[in-house]
Amino acid sequence: MPDYAVFFVFLFGITGGSFLNVCIHRLPLGESIVFPSSHCPQCHTAILWRDNIPLLGWVLLRGRCRHCRNAISPIYPLVELLAGLLAVQVVVHDGLRWENLIVILLGYALIVLSFIDFRHYILPDVITLPGMVLGVAVAWSGWLVPTLPEIRESLMGVVIGGGGLWAFGWTFQKITGKVGMGFGDVKLLGMIGAWMGWQALPFTLFFSALVGSVVGIAWMVWAGRDRSQPIPFGPYLAGAAWAYLFVGDAVYAWYLGNG
Ligand SMILES: [Zn+2]
């Protein structure tokens, strides 16, 4: 693929990232994601179009609002950068095809869910439920994206992913009397199963639990994190599922070859 194509995909990706920022900051507050246009979260001044250019706007303003000089969270450019890299990753891996827009859309949904969960400890139904339906629809259409599962695998993904995690959470709660897992996680795993098939579930659960535990322990040891504080699990589920799309088959082949 020519370099300029990769560059344009990156530009496309970071532009999408601007919209993801709007979703991340407004969805949890129940605000419209269409109106009003972007404004400074502190002084509420409308942001000039040139200051709103993805990535570059934040860099040129050196992370401060032009009007009130208050710091603008580095989350904004971080999300845009992630969205750009994600789009590039998809086309480098799967080629420059229109069908890949749907894979990028899935990645975008996972980014939005991760950042909202990290900050608010919720995974909004308004993303996970339509996400689940869309995943099944994409699998059902079959011809759209050959790398995604067929309909039977997708439906089993919903049932085993959503249902399995729900049963696990219910049992955990009955035994320990503690709420171990939010229902948002259940719906997210159902959505992941819908998009990637039931085969993705062992990989996703294993690596999200592994990375989540390591980060959780490190956080407690070095940053003195309070043990009773909830740990958002969504970002780990989302990250592991995304990794599965790219390395899942290779990891399973390696594991079975050594098993
Ligand atoms: Zn301001």
pLDDT class of 237 with cuts at 50, 70, 90? very high
Instruction: Give the per-residue pLDDT at 38.
Output: 83
* Ligand 1 center to 52 CA (angstroms): 13
First to last CA, the chain: 37
**How far is the C-alpha of 88 from the C-alpha of 9, rounded, in Å?**
6
* Ligand 1 center to 15 CA (angstroms): 22
* Ligand 1 center to 57 CA (angstroms): 14
Q: What's at 216, amino acid-wise?
A: G
Instruction: Give the per-residue pLDDT at 164.
Output: 81
Is the predicted pLDDT of residue 259 greater than 70, yes or no? Answer: no
| Burial environment of residue 148 by CB neighbours within 10 A (0 to 12, 13 to 18, 19 or more) | buried
Give the model confidence (pLDDT) of 58-85 as tens digits: 999 999 999 999 998 999 999 999 999 9
Give the model confidence (pLDDT) of 161-178 as tens digits: 998 888 877 887 888 777
pTM over 0.75: yes
Q: Write down the number of H helices and E strands in the chain.
A: 10, 0
* Ligand 1 center to 47 CA (angstroms): 9
Instruction: Give the per-residue pLDDT at 26.
Output: 92
Mean pLDDT over 194-206 rounds to 95
Pair of tokens at residue 236: 């780990």
**How far is the C-alpha of 90 from the C-alpha of 97, rounded, in Å?**
10
Give the chain's mean pLDDT. Answer: 90
- Report the share of the chain in percent with pLDDT over 70: 98
* Ligand 1 center to 76 CA (angstroms): 14
Mean pLDDT over 117-131 rounds to 94
Pair of tokens at residue 7: 């560059």
Q: Return the bridge partners of 39, or none.
A: 46
* Ligand 1 center to 68 CA (angstroms): 4
* Ligand 1 center to 59 CA (angstroms): 16
* Ligand 1 center to 62 CA (angstroms): 13
**How far is the C-alpha of 237 from the C-alpha of 161, rounded, in Å?**
11
* Ligand 1 center to 97 CA (angstroms): 40
Mean pLDDT over 97-110 rounds to 94
DSSP assignments along 101-143, one per residue: HHHHHHHHHHHHHHHHHHHHS---HHHHHHHHHHHHHHHHH-S
* Ligand 1 center to 127 CA (angstroms): 29
Mean pLDDT over 4-30 rounds to 94
* Ligand 1 center to 64 CA (angstroms): 8
Is the predicted pLDDT of residue 207 greater than 70, yes or no? Answer: yes
Is the predicted pLDDT of residue 180 greater than 70, yes or no? Answer: no
Q: Return the bridge partners of 30, or none.
A: none
Mean pLDDT over 20-24 rounds to 94
